[in-house]
């Protein structure tokens, strides 16, 4: 009995240290246990997981992907569906009846 108790405690401590190392490297760590998928609590826990993932996505990508007004341009490598086209100014349109 002491063997298993000690083993589980060592595993918990090891897992905690590994999560800390991953977070220090910039990773987001989400711990999700199999028991959290039991039918009585599955929906609540999966909704919580979804909320956490959405929050992380917005925190990591949405804020950094916005472009301040007037900053869009070649330096940001923003392109539309075509490459740059040089338009000729002040050229009269052809009359389609001629």
pTM of the model: 0.51
The pLDDT tens digits of the residues spanning 68-95 come to: 666 555 455 555 555 555 656 665 556 5
**CA separation for the pair 59, 47 (Å, rounded):** 18
Spell out the domain ranges in the chain: 1-31, 37-66
**CA separation for the pair 17, 24 (Å, rounded):** 11
CA atoms within 13 A on the CB side of 51: 6
Query: Token pair 């992907």 is at which residue?
Result: 65
Q: Which residues does the chain have with pLDDT short of 50?
A: 74
Q: Which two tokens stand for residue 50?
A: 């979804």
**CA separation for the pair 3, 9 (Å, rounded):** 10
CB–CB of 79/73 below 8 Å?
no
């Amino acid at each position: 009995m002491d063997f298993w108790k000690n083993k589980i405690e060592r595993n918990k401590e090891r897992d905690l240290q590994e999560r800390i190392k991953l977070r220090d490297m910039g990773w987001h760590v989400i711990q999700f246990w199999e028991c959290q998928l039991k039918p009585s609590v599955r929906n609540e826990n999966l909704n919580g997981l979804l909320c956490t993932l959405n929050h992380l996505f917005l925190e990591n990508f949405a804020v950094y992907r916005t472009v301040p007004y007037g900053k869009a341009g070649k330096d940001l490598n923003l392109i539309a569906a075509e490459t740059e086209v040089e338009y000729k100014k002040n050229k009269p349109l052809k009359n389609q009846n001629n």
